[in-house]
Each structure stands twice: as C-alpha cells, then as structure tokens.
Amino acid sequence: MKLGSEKKQILAWAFYDWANSAFATVVIAGFFPVFFKEYWSIGIQSTVSTFHLGVANSIASLVVLILAPILGAIADQGAHKKRFLLVFACIGIAGTAWLGGIGQHLWLYAAIVYVVATIGFSGANVLYDALIVDIAPKEKYHSVSGIGFSLGYLGGGLLFALCVVVSLRPGWFGLSSNIEAVRLSFFITAIWWALFSLPLVWFVQERRTSRQSFADSIVRGAQQLIQTFRDIKQYKTVVIFLIAYWLYIDGVDTIVRMAVDYGLSLGFTSQHMITALLLVQFVGFPSALLFGWLGEKIGPKPGILLGLSTYIGITIWAYSIENTWEFYGIATAIGLVQGGVQALSRSLYASLIPPDSAAEFFGFYNFLGKFAAVIGPVMMGWVALATDSSRVSILSILILFIAGGLILTKVKT
C-alpha cells in the first residue's frame, strides 16, 4: 500500500535529520574533538587546544548568525528553501570529506575546514527547520518535529557505532591504524549525509506562494527582512521566546560541542567519550519521540522546562564528576532530554510564527541559536584558561539554563 502524500513528505523530511545528524554525531560531538586534541593539536597544552576548538566553533556560528535571517528572507520570497538547503548541504558534505585528508599537527588547517563544514551543516538546518510548515499541519508540529529528532538520533547513533567499530578494530577493515579509521569515518559520514538527503530531494515539495526569479527574491527578501526588523515588536510572544531560546540553547549546544573535550581534560579516555556519545544517541531516539508526544499532551513549554531542569542537575553533577560510571550516567541523562528540548523548541516556535514567512522567522531562530553558540564555547574555553580548571568552566553554563527557563515561563502559547 502506498504512503499518502503527507506521510511520504513527513518521512522524507525527517530522513534529512537521519542524514545530517551523522555530521553532528561523528564529527562535531565525536571524532573531531578527539582528533583535534590528540592528533592535530598533539604537543599543545590541553587548555590551549580547548580554547582553539571553542574559537573554531564560535567562528562557524558567527558566520551562520549573519547569514541565517538573510537566507531565510530570500528563501521565503521565491520558495527557494529546498534549493538553498541543498547548496549548504553540499558545502557541509564536501568539508566533511575534506577533513579526512588533513595530516598531523595541522590544527589550524583542520579548524578552518571544520568551520566550512559546520557552516554548511548549520546553514542547511535553517531551511530544513523552516520546511516543517510545508510538510505538516500545525496540529502535528510537535510530533513531526519529534520524529525528525528521533530519526536523527537513531541514524547518527548507528553510523557512529559503525565508525567506532572501525576505529577500535581497524584490522577487520584492512586498515593499519585507528588514525586511518578516523579519517575513513569522515569520508563515510560525507557519503551517508549525501545518500540519505535524497528522499528530501525527491519527495518534499514547498508550498509555492510565489514564483519569483532568484534575483527578484534577493531584492524582495532584503526588503522583507528590513520590514520585519522594523515590525518585530508586533510579535511580542515570538521575541520573548527567542530571548529565552537564545539563552538556554547556548547551554545545550555548548555541552554538545565541548563535552568530549571536557571529559578528556578530566582524564577520561577517548573510548569512554565514544561510549558516552553512543549512550546519548540511543537513549535520545525514544526520548525525542516521547517528548513529541508529551508536547501534544501537556504542551511544549512544560516539556522544555522539564528538560532544562534536568540540564541544571546535569551541569552540577558534571562539576564534581570523578568516576567513569558517573560520566555514563550524565550521558544517559543528556540523552533523555537533549532531543526533547530541541524538538519542542522547534515545534513551539513553528506554532508561534506566520507560516508564509517561516524561513525568514526560522532564520531569526537559527540566528539566535548560533549567536548563543558563539558565546558558549568561547566562554567555557576562556574560563578554563583563566582558572586553569575545566571543572569551573562547566559551571558557567548554569546561568544560561536558569535565565532561559525563567524567561520561557513568560511566553504565552
């Protein structure tokens, strides 16, 4: 029996999360921080390499911060969301493959290529998030967003597990060392991302509210962006949510990007980090689905607040962590709430904005999300340098979760 058009589009859209989460898991959270510290930055002091990694993440986020609202406004004008998504995805895929060819000690070269790949990944996500209004009715935003994140956790986790096996047992695959295995993992991730983007290419259709040329879309998009900046105070609820989101997603993204580096700084091995990341992925798969269901039952705002309360406890626990089992416990707790907070934030925001300007408004959403990621990693790296303590640096994230949660309570849904 053939799937209905709506179901087919939802699954095709969600499978892009399966595709690009490979980059988020294998590269951003997994092998890049380990390889950056232990291979490309070998011989450099741990706190200094932490600072370098934080700066690289922040530069990538800063570029996307500038591009996101402009990109969204242009995409809305001529129904160009899917086209722009594929352009940025190709940039990310090419950068990911490129990482596999970079030699030892070349930390600056690796950081530059990582920035390019992350810009592609993040830029594509601006348009991917905005496409939810084209493929699902408003009453299904929470569950559909949860499906996307859950498939992302499952797909990213499965590929990461494969790459872990390759890195731990390189001889099984005809490789001479785990260094070759990690390089191969970057290539595999690029292929995975490209392959599983195809359902979106084939089946997802935008609602064409206009058929403007690309040149006209640029002009009208720029005009619309200026007008939205002028009129933004009309959308008071959206503004309050964006401020809250800006703060609390800073904490979420900083943990994603810096957790492996933090664990290595405390003396845990790269194998401990990899196991913990696998826990996050496979716990996150059912948890994101559960939070999508929870958002429809009790509302997205209480669901997000539940997740933020858990993050506060996680951060305090991380400060005093001593044993391996505690690191795994923290990873499990993160897996329980990370996807839920991300999924419900996206669906709550989608329900607050005008659908005809979805890409533009999601440009602001990603704008603030990336602006948060500009501050968080650098703040953590700077505190680590200033105090010579990675443990103290993790506590800097607490204020972001608390302040973001308090402001979120003011959002009227």
Model confidence pLDDT, tens digit, residues 191-208: 999 999 999 988 887 766
Percentage, residues of the chain above pLDDT 70: 83
Q: Name the token pair of 139.
A: 């009453």
Residue 227 token pair = 């007008």
Tell me which amino acid residue 387 is.
T
Which stretch of 5-9, 299-303, 312-316 has the lowest confidence by average pLDDT? 5-9
Length of the chain: 413
pTM value surpassing 0.85? no
Res 370 pLDDT > 80: no
Position 374 pLDDT exceeds 70: no
Mean pLDDT of the chain: 80
Quote the pLDDT of residue 2. Answer: 45
Q: What is the pLDDT of residue 96?
A: 95
Look at 72-81, 96-105, 212-221, 310-319 and tell me which has the smallest mean pLDDT. Answer: 212-221
Least confident range of 189-198, 200-209, 246-255, 318-327: 200-209
Per-residue pLDDT, averaged over 348-364, amounts to: 72
Top mean-pLDDT range of 102-116, 353-367, 379-393: 102-116
User: What are the structure tokens assigned to 303, written together?
Assistant: 């669901």
The architecture that CATH gives domain 5-408 is Up-down Bundle (1.20)
Predicted pLDDT at 237 = 85
Q: How far apart are the first and last CA of the chain?
A: 38
Domain ranges (residues) in the chain? 5-408
In this prediction, residue 405 carries a pLDDT of: 92
Cα separation, 264 vs 126, in Å, equals: 31
Integer CA distances (angstroms), 167 to 172, 178, 262, in order:
10, 5, 21
Q: Is the pLDDT of residue 1 over 50?
A: no
| pLDDT given at position 227 | 67
Query: Comparing 74-88, 185-199, 295-309, which segment has the lowest mean pLDDT?
Result: 74-88
pLDDT, tens digit (0-9, with 9 covering 90-100), for 162-194: 988 888 888 888 888 888 888 899 999 999 999
Q: Is the pLDDT of residue 373 over 70?
A: no
Measured N-to-C along each axis, helices 46-78 and 214-231 cross at an angle, to the nearest 10 degrees, of: 110
Which has more confidence, 353 or 210? 353
DSSP-H helix ranges across 79-197: 81-99, 107-130, 132-135, 141-168, 178-195
Using a 10 angstrom Cβ sphere, with 0-12 exposed, 13-18 middle and 19 or more buried, the burial of residue 255 is: buried
Q: 103-112, 275-284, 328-337 — which is least confidently predicted? A: 275-284
Nearest residue to 124 via CA among 252, 228, 249, 21: 21
- d(C-alpha 247, C-alpha 405), whole Å: 8
Nearby residues of 82 by Cβ (< 8 Å), 6 or more positions away: 127, 131, 200, 201, 204, 206
Band of pLDDT at residue 107, cut at 50, 70 and 90:
confident
pLDDT attached to residue 55: 80
Torsion of CA 71, 72, 77, 83, to 10 degrees: 70
Residues 263, 334, 127, 400: is their CA dihedral positive or negative?
negative
